[in-house]
Structure 1
């Protein structure tokens, strides 16, 4: 399973999924993905005139929620390493001509964002593609990019603990989603990986453990009976 966390593997996967990812993300979350993105952003109460960094930005699906609290002095930096996702993010950027948005095609671990740039950091549905070592690097990178007293909120789909919901949810992810993937892409194997990642990820408790560092104050967050989980926090030093 080690290869599924290799950056080249993940990049190619999301390049292949980019054309239908928005629809599939909606379907795999039973239509809750948009609500969860909004809730993830609302967790940290973004203020106007600030700089927000959206890590693993994809096509910029979180932007409309982030930009609700923006003005002419606000800056949004979206970062992703998938060429196809970045291309779609650049097109999405045209919808927000009044906003100051910068899109970077970069790996989160090798990015050009100067230290202590961000007042806020968001990441929607990127955690499951990282192993423990990478999550630790992500924590260090968030600390580097974030200002002292800056806030962050991270979320991903998860395996619910509810005994009735869990088997149904996993059957849907592992059996039904690949069929939908075949309909959209002609490639069930590509979307089968979403179930594989989610099953390996389980929930954000491991993320909480890894991010439990002296530099952060963090909280564990559950959405809709644990079908999505995340962490939110503040850099205190």
Structure 2
């Protein structure tokens, strides 16, 4: 059965719906991201990781790790003595992440993968030096972002850092209008070409326009006790939250 958008807008944030969406997209997601962002998604992931002072031998948790798109940048920093922990609830995404883990360039690195909801609270307390979230915030509503912020605070070691990045709606009027048109009209057409179902990738445009940017999320992260600031990339087409846990 083809993927269908639910009738209730609120239900797009239910874990079961999001899991089904990303399972459906897993075959083409990495390629589509690169094509539709004109390569900027890879650049933004690198910038997200490089916001952190990752040192060799440290533990990095990659929440909503997807297909492991940030791993190259993380492994460059942690070296062979570090550890990368990837968490995602999409079996489709993790299937490709596991294949990537077995490639030669990751052979010397310790990479653990866990299939679970990132809000499940199963990772040990104060076990991570750094936490990364790339392009996953938009699939959460405010209550879920609040839970995520508390979870990041729980698993970070004292003084540990985190970095999140998300596609955002730029502020300049003309750019915003063009960007929203591209998200809502052009990307679904590309989704139909690559996946045969425009509704699947149309959902990403819906998530982005509902999310807007990381400003509100920053307030929720601060409420959870994390010190943080927002970042903007390419005139606000992406935005991030960077911060740390108190010592």
* The two structures share one fold, judged by TM-score above 0.5: yes
TM-score, scaled to structure 1: 0.98
Shift of 1:214: 6.5
Give SS of 1:203's match: coil
Structure 2: which 5+ runs fail to align?
A: 1-8
Residue pair 1:29, 1:157 contacting (<8 A) in 2 also:
no
Shift of 1:162: 1.3
- The answer to whether 1:92 aligns with 2:133 is no
Q: How does 1:76-155 map to 2 (within 5 A)?
A: 76-95=84-103, 96-155=106-165
- The match for 2:3 is none
Give SS of 2:39's match: coil
Give SS of 2:201's match: helix
Whole-Å separation in 2 of the counterparts to 1:215 and 1:130: 19
Shift of 1:26: 1.7
Structure 1: which 5+ runs fail to align?
A: none
1:75 to 65, 70, 83: 83
Deviations 1:155-189 (A, max 9, x none): 00000111221111111110010000000111000
Whole-Å separation in 2 of the counterparts to 1:168 and 1:21: 23
Whole-Å separation in 2 of the counterparts to 1:30 and 1:163: 21
TM-score, scaled to structure 2: 0.94
Whole-Å separation in 1 of the counterparts to 2:146 and 2:244: 16
1:38 to 42, 46, 50: 46
How many residue pairs match? The answer is 237
- The match for 2:230 is 220
Deviations 1:126-164 (A, max 9, x none): 000000000000011001111010000000000011122
